[in-house]
Chains A and B, each alone.
Chain A
Amino acid sequence: MGDTELELSPARLEELQKSPSASSTSTTSSLSLPSSPSSGPRPLTSSSPSTSEGLPTSSPPLDVISEGVGELSLVIDTEVAKKACQKVLQKVKFLKADGELSSANSEPVLVNGTAHPSEEEAEPVKNVRRRQKNNSSKQSWLLRLFESKLFDISMAISYLYNSKEPGVQAYIGNRLFSFRNEDVDFYLPQLLNMYIHMDEDVGDAIKPYVVHRCRQSINFSLQCAWLLGAYSSDMHISTQRHSRGTKLRKLILSDELKPSSQRIRREMPQPPPSCPPTLHHSQGMSEHSLSPSKRTHQRSKSDATVSISLSSNLKRTASNPKVETSQDEDLSSSSDSLELEAGTPVRLTPQREFIKSLMGIGKRLATLPTKEQKTQRLISELSLLNHKLPARVWLPTAGFDHHVVRVPHTQAVVLNSKDKAPYLIYVEVLECENFETSSVPVRIPETRIRSTRSVENLPDCGITPDQRASSFSTVPNYDNDDEAWSVDDIGELQVELPEIHTNSCDNISQFSVDSITSQESKEPIFIAAGDIRRRLSEQLAHTPTTFKRDPEDPSAVALKEPWQEKVRRIREGTPYGHLPNWRLLSVIVKCGDDLRQELLAYQVLKQLQIIWEQERVPLWIKPYKILVISSDSGMIEPVVNAVSIHQVKKQSQLSLLDYFRQEHGNYNTEEFLTAQRNFVQSCAGYCLICYLLQVKDRHNGNILLDSEGHIIHIDFGFILSSSPRNLGFETSAFKLTSEFVDVMGGLDGDMFNYYRMLMLQGLIAARKHMEKVIQIVEIMHQGSQLPCFHGSSTIRNLKERFHMNLTEEQLQVLVEQMVDGSMRSITTKLYDGFQYLTNGIM
């Protein structure tokens, strides 16, 4: 029974990996992860907090632990002491039940509490070994798979979803602790949706992990609460109220899930008693995949969770008031008053209030009739919001820890939407180590802009006052500003526009050398009108094209401005701009829109992006982050440096190709070719996305073009089984207009062939990893009333679009057909016409 025998062939592994449902169902009957405690190995199910066994009435070695309890009662109240006592008793009972463990073995563990890795490790390994002996090879394979390096979060989610075996589910529930937080976070919607809508065993398996993470992070807590709310919303109201999801949500929002480390330290002067048997087990199982250091780390985490899950009344433990207040002091000392007054917990409050304010603004904007009014209102609402900043609030869509310090309210814009009022705000933040513990920045009043940036900042502009003066002295009569502009005025102006000055400070007048020399002799200066006109065109050509302001489309100008430019401009105008950790973020606030489909689309796009990257297919797509706050609100991470094709066409009045030439230069320039390649790679990527996800409502307002030539599809409101108004438009696989083909260089060009080839490669790669994509969608199907899951065949149809049965040659034919079909399809055109008539979108 050497380990080598258990080596899985890669093919076998892949099989397991791909079809977990099949393998698990086929093995459940004989799987050696039984739920009956009578069998030799320790049952996995005992990790479940809902163990039906009552609390032990007998008190075996109470004398051993009574000492610890006595100590406890000195620092905490009797209630807690009693609970701790019960917990220990329960553990002891488990230990007793295990015939293998001698009391001598368990005693030291209980007394000093420190984990003895060697003993603990030895035990589960034994178990595993023994179990393996009894099991069929299939079971071993499954076990080996779980233990193997290939077992990733995606597979874990898949088994969690497909396995009907509580033991497997519980095992995976424990295994979640061993994955990196970021990896699990990606599947948070799936995890929580399973928690809400699937049977109790799955829920029980997931809960410890979720609770544990909630304790660790405010951000995670809020994400969970929001998602739980959003994904419970499709339940019937009566069941929803008492559902597990709602309960967990309430628990999280009650803010009783405090960081556990401190709590444990306080409640138990000694480290917690040894791990319950299940943990040993799980550790044994994950032994191969975990490094020793990681293992101990995991154990301490598991300790925490198990101690929670074992306490049947989690609430009572966590809400020990003494523990709470003392622990929160450092977190939110300034908000103590608020806590007292409002009587609500304060850990999550600032962020919740912040989000609530943003949503409130959106709701109020929706009542205003015109864009102009909405914009004005938005700006003043945000200026009010500014008075409450900085605060311990952050944008969940950002990739780093920070505190929001200011919303440059005049920069905010209302986005184009008929009856809702989504809006885009820019948010100034200060990056910090940890937004939960780092102190909140001090408010700097708006009026301080001056004092922070005055004459002393002059050298920043790249030229010294002397240089400047000398540049003036060559043209004494021309720009003799020393009289009219005081020194600090010049300073200010320079600070305002440093780049311009550095570029042209020496020739503000833009004079030819001749005219300067002639001027020194006090002769009149003559200049050619043609030069002025030429300089004007040249300068405008050098500056990136800007869009004209359009009151009906206020966002066009804001989005067209290059991001770096905007960052620089806003940084100049803010009192926080001088701080080195200042950053600018942006976010779209959606109120009245359900972003759950968007989130689903994001996950699918992200998964496909990873797949294509892994398979080295140079397809380009841009999944943008989605934050679901409820079933009708949320936030979107805006795509920077991008405007919609509709806006491009309306503003430039050019064909897409001509616009490309205007922006990137003529056909054979490096810039144009790069932009064209970007365009092709992104087109191919999004065509596949549109096909696989059946993305509908593809008009030019929903397709962005970024400054590098990529297209980016936005608005995944109609995907899979849903389509706008069921007009039967858009029957082609994806949108490919002749204008797009023109940019690609026409139907016969190399780039167009490249486009088709990319599509084929992309489809083959996606097909190879189909399960990963399907699983994301399928799990979210559970209990969902979203229109994209309308009907019964959504998942089947999705699977069919991967064409598992076709050869690569057949796939190629399919791609050709789809491209031709889209080219010839008049429905795309017709749909554009329809959009133009109804929404004014070109």
Chain B
Amino acid sequence: MAQTEKKAGLLRRTSSSKKPLKEKVLLMYEDIFTKEDPTKSNPRFWDELFLMKVNLEHLEGKLEALDGDEVVKIRDNINSLFHHCVQALAEEHQIKVVNALQTLCALFRGVHQKNKSATGFDIINMLMGFDKAELRMKELMESLDSLLCGDGSESLKSLCLKLLLCLVTVTDNISQNTILEYVMINSIFEAILQILSDVSSRARHGYDAVVLLALLVNYRKYESVNPYIVKLSIVDDEPTLDGMGRVIHHALAEYNRQYKEKEEENQGGFFSTLTSMVGSMFIADADEKLSVQTNEAILLALYEAVHLNRNFITVLAQSHPEIDIATAPAVPIPASPTTPLGTTPPSLDMMNNPELPLDPNLQTSNLLITFLKYSSIVMQDTKDEHRLNSARLFLIILTCIAEPMRHRKKAVDKSIPSRPLVCAVLDLMVEFIVTHMMKEFPMDLYVRCVQIIHKLICYQKKCRVRIHYTWRELWSALINLLKFLLSNETSLLSKHNIFQLALQVVNLFNMFITYGDTFLPTPSSYDELYYEIIRMHQVFDNLYCMVLRVSANAGPWKEPASKVTQALVNARAIINHFNPKIESYATVNHISQLSEDQVLEVVRTNYDTLTLKLQDGLDQFERYSEQPREAGFFKELVRSISLNVRKNVSLSTMSQDILLKEFSSIS
């Protein structure tokens, strides 16, 4: 108590005579930026320094302004500053800890800013001194770990995370940030997990923790053994995984909510089509754009969780209410929560508020649903680079989810009350196929999209899962895609291998035609498949002509085109088999135009004379692997996220006043 008073007294003096003392900080900075050891003139220099309010901009600016020679000269003092910062973290005076954290941040930033071209080792040497670096970083990481895991101030924890985010994003390319080697050795993974597993800390710091984890996982992920990858992949603690899911869920849901609000605001305006509305909305609104970018980090976190951790898949389908976790009553937490059922120890935050707020508008959802909603919004417009990235990432995540090894969940999804999620995924794929046939054809996304459908069908075939899905919409979308490829042959062919996509689509049809018995919901759906092919026979005819023509010429497309030719065998067999029968049926019955039922009748009665050819390897697919195909994409993505996080991490937003208030009430 006496200490607090003393501290408060000191600080009061600080604020009462603001001006000269503020200058004192700057004066003290001046002392550091000399060759002299500042303790020579003032033995209590470091003690005093950390009682002063940090002037981040000034300190950063000073560091940046240094030129090469000066740097070398004052290296000792900077090392000393770093050393004392680390020491101050263990101080009891929280103000000192705060100031030390902020100073460290300024140090990391300033030194990097100054030495963009410098090697990592030079920077380390500059900051900590090469011989001491390992020890200093160990101390730093240990201090941060204990601050994050202790039951100290929440604002301090927040600052620790900000410092870590600042450190992690200080270089554009995270893998070039050599200091992170020490973060690898001195893992704070456990601290991150602890934040995620605890309700109140998750509500306050979950977002930062998840982003930090996603970034750390991406440090030299292809070159070395990243302990964060290893650790993340083996987490199986339910509350922690669930906590991670909730943070991601909340971030995505928040975006969805904002989008919905905007949409409602704009309704009735002159934005007629959804696409144009969304487009203009995001271009016009810088704020909104920002939120898309930050969500890349969340999507990355989701991707890493899904990709690396097998257990995370169960979290995906676990339902949560869409409540704002931040506003949820998370603050007052009894030391030992009551357990109404009295037996099992409380494992989750639910123990604290066993009843959800009674709000009829409260929608419940699960992470996967929210993710799909989010994706459907993002995919509406892929012109913006960030949104294109998001869309791509979204499809990659879906690819991972659709991997058969992940299908545990899908089996659960047969759960009868609500529509299986796989239907929602298929719907989204259909929607994507239909809405992105544009000049700037996102070939890459289309290939992924069709792959996802393929994987889902392979699973269904394998496990005899018959979902009640109206496959017709998918067939029609796929045929339209083929039609689009045909009519834009020349322009597309200059940029893309359209035969690869065409082959995939045709083989999807082959799956339905030759394996339909294993996964279609009803016999009549098989008839409808034939009806759809017959109805759209011109597309298949034209495609056949096209691939025949291309494969006849020598050239790079000869081979892929001839594969499509072979794959079309069954579709052509169907068309050639039934068309004459339908015509003769029309003539016999004197009907000019057959109704759908009549065609279906012809189809049903003429199956037996049709022979189909079984294609090889229809149900084989490439398993998803990040390397090497996606490595480039992720590198760029992480770079973009790093830049964005760096821009948005602000330590100065935390006003000293707030901190003071908080600390004075702690004691």
Q: Could you list which residues of chain A lie within 8 angstroms of chain B, going by C-beta atoms? A: 332, 334-335, 337-338, 341-342, 346, 349-350, 353-354, 357, 360, 364, 367-369, 373, 375-377, 379-381, 383-384, 387-393, 409-413, 440, 443, 445-451, 477-481, 483-486, 488-489, 492-493, 496-497, 500, 504, 508, 510, 515, 524-530, 532-533, 535-537, 539-540, 548-549, 554, 557-558, 561, 569, 572-573
CA of A391 to CA of B336, assembled, Å: 18
7 contacts between A and B (CB under 8 A): A373-B363, A379-B417, A445-B236, A527-B613, A529-B610, A536-B526, A549-B416
CA of A337 to CA of B339, assembled, Å: 9
User: For window 336-372 of chain B, which residues contact chain A by CB distance below 8 Å?
Assistant: 336, 338-348, 350-351, 354-356, 358, 360, 362-365
Q: Does the CB pair A557–B411 fall under 8 Å?
A: no
CA of A532 to CA of B417, assembled, Å: 30
In the bound complex, residues from chain A placing their C-beta under 8 Å from that of B466 are 540
In the bound complex, residues from chain A placing their C-beta under 8 Å from that of B355 are 360, 364
Contact among B339, B463, B527, B610 for A338, CB-based, below 8 A: B339
Q: Does the CB pair B614–A525 fall under 8 Å?
A: yes
Q: Does the CB pair B417–A410 fall under 8 Å?
A: yes
Q: Does the CB pair A486–B405 fall under 8 Å?
A: yes
A377-B416 contact, Cβ under 8 Å, with A388-B339, A388-B341, A478-B614: no
CA of A380 to CA of B249, assembled, Å: 14
Q: Does the CB pair A493–B612 fall under 8 Å?
A: no
Q: Does the CB pair B517–A448 fall under 8 Å?
A: no
Closest chain-B Cβ to A346's Cβ sits at a distance in Å of 6
Q: Does the CB pair B607–A390 fall under 8 Å?
A: no
CA of A341 to CA of B351, assembled, Å: 15
Contact among A445, A558, A573 for B412, CB-based, below 8 A: A573
Contact among B358, B417, B611 for A558, CB-based, below 8 A: B417
B535 at the interface (CB under 8 A from A): no
A526-B363 contact, Cβ under 8 Å, with A357-B340, A379-B417, A493-B463: no
CA of A47 to CA of B404, assembled, Å: 73
B20 at the interface (CB under 8 A from A): no
Closest chain-B Cβ to A356's Cβ sits at a distance in Å of 8
* Chain A residue with the shortest CB-CB distance to B365: A376
Interface pairs A-B: 8 shortest CB-CB: A335-B342, A380-B364, A445-B238, A530-B608, A530-B607, A391-B341, A447-B311, A529-B610
* Segment from B44-52, B224-232, B383-391, B618-626 that makes contact with A: B618-626
CA of A5 to CA of B414, assembled, Å: 73
In the bound complex, residues from chain A placing their C-beta under 8 Å from that of B311 are 447, 450
CA of A300 to CA of B566, assembled, Å: 89
B407 at the interface (CB under 8 A from A): yes
CA of A369 to CA of B359, assembled, Å: 11
* Segment from B91-99, B317-325, B436-444, B640-648 that makes contact with A: B317-325
Contact among B346, B418, B526 for A532, CB-based, below 8 A: B526
Contact among B338, B351, B620 for A483, CB-based, below 8 A: B620
A510-B517 contact, Cβ under 8 Å, with A410-B415, A411-B416: yes
B262 at the interface (CB under 8 A from A): no
Closest chain-B Cβ to A568's Cβ sits at a distance in Å of 12
Q: Does the CB pair A448–B236 fall under 8 Å?
A: yes
Q: Does the CB pair B517–A548 fall under 8 Å?
A: no
A529-B611 contact, Cβ under 8 Å, with A447-B238, A535-B517: yes
A-B contact sample (8 more), CB < 8 A, given A367-B358, A554-B418 = A376-B319, A377-B364, A392-B342, A447-B236, A529-B610, A530-B607, A530-B610, A558-B416
CA of A64 to CA of B182, assembled, Å: 85
Q: Does the CB pair A536–B516 fall under 8 Å?
A: yes
User: For window 596-622 of chain B, which residues contact chain A by CB distance below 8 Å?
Assistant: 604, 607-614, 616-617, 619-621
* Chain B residue with the shortest CB-CB distance to A493: B463
Q: Does the CB pair A496–B463 fall under 8 Å?
A: yes
Closest chain-B Cβ to A19's Cβ sits at a distance in Å of 50
In the bound complex, residues from chain A placing their C-beta under 8 Å from that of B414 are 569
Q: Does the CB pair B411–A496 fall under 8 Å?
A: yes
Q: Does the CB pair B360–A539 fall under 8 Å?
A: no
Closest chain-B Cβ to A380's Cβ sits at a distance in Å of 4
The residue in B340, B466, B611 that gathers the most chain A C-beta atoms within 10 A of its C-beta is: B340
In the bound complex, residues from chain B placing their C-beta under 8 Å from that of A558 are 416-417
CA of A299 to CA of B463, assembled, Å: 63
B116 at the interface (CB under 8 A from A): no
B514 at the interface (CB under 8 A from A): yes
Q: Does the CB pair A376–B363 fall under 8 Å?
A: yes
B497 at the interface (CB under 8 A from A): no
* Chain B residue with the shortest CB-CB distance to A377: B364
In the bound complex, residues from chain B placing their C-beta under 8 Å from that of A440 are 343-344
B408 at the interface (CB under 8 A from A): yes
Q: Does the CB pair A533–B319 fall under 8 Å?
A: no
Q: Does the CB pair A387–B463 fall under 8 Å?
A: no
In the bound complex, residues from chain A placing their C-beta under 8 Å from that of B236 are 445, 447-448, 451
In the bound complex, residues from chain B placing their C-beta under 8 Å from that of A536 are 516-517, 520, 522-523, 526
* Chain B residue with the shortest CB-CB distance to A379: B319
Q: Does the CB pair B523–A537 fall under 8 Å?
A: yes
A524-B613 contact, Cβ under 8 Å, with A364-B358, A481-B619, A492-B408: yes
